[in-house]
A and B are shown apart, each in its own frame.
Chain A
């Protein structure tokens, strides 16, 4: 049965895919028809602006403000906003904490975001291989310091528990053997510069140090392997990887507890067609538009802010008065709402769901409405939320939902 694709469905699609939209865009999608609308939303991402900084390596706070501003203003202006919501997904899945990864600079985190954007739609294995060599990840989960004498297990453990198969499909032994395989995967500053002397715009890059690597054979998941690449081969071929990560994608795009049958089918689609294949499959299915799946996801603070500012036609993501301290205040507000971009609370990422609406974070996002004072007139909430009838609707429950 063909999916009915009218204005309501188009608004729902736009909100879920991109977390931003206005009335005329939803209307345009209706005119295109479902298939073309989905293809248009999922086209290759437009390039993001480059980042350089005048701040020094010790001034990490201001750098975080800069990259947050650069990213969110890109999200607010790009013709391909769906790629940015997907990049947010990857940032919450293949996690690195800005505050905890003290050696890495704004440029390193911005480059990591670039990887999520560039490879986010493609085969998951390709993205995973890139992230395994991503300097921020190597620094965050300490593989950059892992040597054969006594391997560091942090990356090996989270790689399996959080990034591929999920718990229950490997042993402690597998973790220790994988950790051996990844010894020697480390980082250096570009051009081999010294951290003390280099400007903050000089990024880290991957380097393999053979003298740190344990070259012996390892028994990993019942196979004999030698290198970290071979460990990744095993995990990329593992069907549980696609069930586990595919399920997370469905929870992010469809409903927090996706039905098992969809998870099973989705895992196959994800394995064969990457995230783009999965999203294309999902967005053209009837279930995606079913009443029980509408208004089923709580907007994260980043999605809430992007959606709200876009509805108010604001392209600079500062909250409140736009003075020189604006971006610092904006990040404080994000922290109060429970989501600082580039800085998930732990390696598992943001919990999401109703936890965004616990008393304190919920209050912080409601108080944002005050910052819109004076801009209410032009605000277009048609895509931002279901059932809007003027700016006062922002205190309706639907305003919190995607």
Chain B
């Protein structure tokens, strides 16, 4: 630890020790530990909880889903700690984490007055504000307090609302491999000259985007030599997580990495589609974890997976399910206290055909924030007791 880090850490400790948020100065918050890393995976479209964490000992589940239920004999048993629930067979690659006590399953996570629109629900999760008054993302608000433009990184085309702050937005890198500038020399020189000319209005916004791009090119270019220690599935989610691992191994220094896996909006023909996606998810997360172990960072990295909502309990007539409420979150990593956080869902006490939510997602966010030693109260704009996930 160098002197500057030491001072910042002491400040942070002091501020936290006194428990007074007013003492959490900008510089203290700016000095978050780079040791701990949060990886957020957003399953866009609304993953169906009931066919992921399956209540396979409940007859009612099979009655409500005569065509699309996961067959009892195919469900992966979770043993005594899983109560009467089991996992979808495609999640087999995660079983060793469960057995090792490093996978937390959080059913029916939601918020008061749930919304069934993809976009409104996603925005609520991204801003951490169910009243929908806040326009900036929860990690964007955290990022506003940091000094490092690479304090967080999005793997994909453009950073989502979660990573958009008032002052900055996380850099968006869709792949390390393709992230290099290929311009004739005269153009590149002209580009660097244009960077220096302050402008106004939207033109100035574009110039700032050029500046961010220039900064990212310099940082990401150095990662091209870093290799993964394990093989990842050959799909876009696998590639993104492989790049996250390279960024961590190469010392990019982000405390937060964020990526998405879409396609969960299974209104029709759900079983094959969801199985395919759960397979992508589990294989990739298992590979990522192995990679982290190989570089000795497994205990530092916490992965948090969420979807904007779960789905309707009863299947529809097209072998699918419609939008529902509270959904399943997964939290995993070498430092995580695994287990089931919340019991078997009550299939009889429904809210307009949906499972009722039991855990507020902001309590989970509070844990994630404390993992990276951020001040959850400031970021979440309220007191949310962290779930004891680690």
Contact = CB atoms under 8 A, between A and B. Distances in A.
Interface of A: 100, 141-142, 145-154, 157, 161, 167, 172, 292, 295-298, 336, 338, 345-348, 351, 354-364, 366-367, 369-370, 373, 392, 394-398, 400-401
B135 to A, nearest CB: 12
B382 interface: no
Nearest to B263: A100
Nearest to A139: B268
Contact of B117 (A142, A161, A297): A161
A298 B44 CA distance: 26
B171 interface: yes
Contacts of A157: 116-117, 323
A395 B191 contact: yes
Given A152-B316, A346-B118, A369 B183 contact: yes
Given A336-B174, A359-B213, A367-B183, 9 more contacts: A145-B268, A150-B314, A152-B318, A157-B116, A338-B158, A348-B119, A359-B179, A363-B181, A397-B204
B183 A395 contact: yes
9 contacts: A152-B268, A297-B202, A338-B157, A346-B118, A354-B205, A360-B156, A369-B183, A370-B182, A401-B202
B181 A146 contact: no
Interface in B163-216: 169, 171-175, 178-179, 181-184, 186-188, 190-191, 194, 199, 201-207, 209-210, 212-213, 216
B194 to A, nearest CB: 6
B352 interface: yes
Contacts of A296: 201-202
B187 A392 contact: yes
Contacts of B172: 358-361
Interface of B: 44-45, 116-120, 154, 156-159, 169, 171-175, 178-179, 181-184, 186-188, 190-191, 194, 199, 201-207, 209-210, 212-213, 216-217, 262-263, 265, 267-268, 314-318, 320, 322-323, 352
Contacts of A394: 187
Given A360-B157, A392-B186, A151 B171 contact: no
Nearest to B262: A346
Interchain residue pairs A-B with the least CB separation, the first 4: A145-B318, A397-B206, A358-B158, A358-B172
B140 to A, nearest CB: 14
Contacts of B202: 295-298, 401
Nearest to B174: A360
B157 A395 contact: no
A361 B157 contact: yes
B268 A363 contact: no
A259 to B, nearest CB: 16
A229 B267 CA distance: 23
B364 to A, nearest CB: 24
Q: Which residue, B120, B179, B213, has most C-beta atoms of chain A within 10 A?
A: B213
B190 A395 contact: yes
B352 A161 contact: no
Contacts of A297: 202
B212 A152 contact: no
A19 B118 CA distance: 31
Contacts of A400: 206
A167 B183 contact: no
Contacts of B181: 363, 366-367
Contacts of B207: 397
Contact of B352 (A150, A172, A361): A172
Contact of A355 (B44, B158, B183, B188): B158
Contacts of A149: 317
B320 A152 contact: yes
B235 to A, nearest CB: 13
A45 B179 CA distance: 40
Contacts of A161: 117, 119
Contact of A358 (B45, B157, B182, B206): B157
A396 B194 contact: yes
Nearest to B153: A359
Given A154-B322, A172-B352, A359-B213, A395 B187 contact: yes
A396 B197 CA distance: 10
Contacts of B206: 298, 357, 397-398, 400-401
A401 B203 contact: yes
Contacts of A360: 156-158, 172-175, 178-179
Contacts of B203: 295, 397-398, 401
Contacts of A151: 316-317
A397 B199 contact: yes
A346 B187 CA distance: 35
A153 B352 CA distance: 14
A245 B201 CA distance: 26
A74 to B, nearest CB: 27
A53 B179 CA distance: 35
A358 B184 contact: no
A364 to B, nearest CB: 8
B245 to A, nearest CB: 18
A369 B201 contact: no
A363 B199 CA distance: 20
B187 A347 contact: no
Given A336-B178, A360-B173, A392-B187, A354 B44 contact: no
Contacts of A401: 202-203, 206
A154 B194 contact: no
A351 B158 contact: yes
A17 to B, nearest CB: 19
B187 A369 contact: yes
Given A157-B116, A346-B118, A359-B216, A295 B268 contact: no
B201 A153 contact: no
Nearest to B316: A150
Nearest to B178: A336
Contacts of B188: 395
A150 B213 CA distance: 50
Contact of B323 (A153, A356, A392, A398): A153
A336 B194 CA distance: 24
Contacts of B210: 362, 397
Nearest to A396: B194
A12 B319 CA distance: 50
B223 to A, nearest CB: 14
B102 to A, nearest CB: 32
Contacts of B205: 354
Contact of A361 (B45, B158, B212): B158
A351 B157 CA distance: 11
A73 B212 CA distance: 34
Contact of B217 (A147, A348, A363): A363
Contacts of B159: 355, 358
Nearest to B203: A397
B216 to A, nearest CB: 5
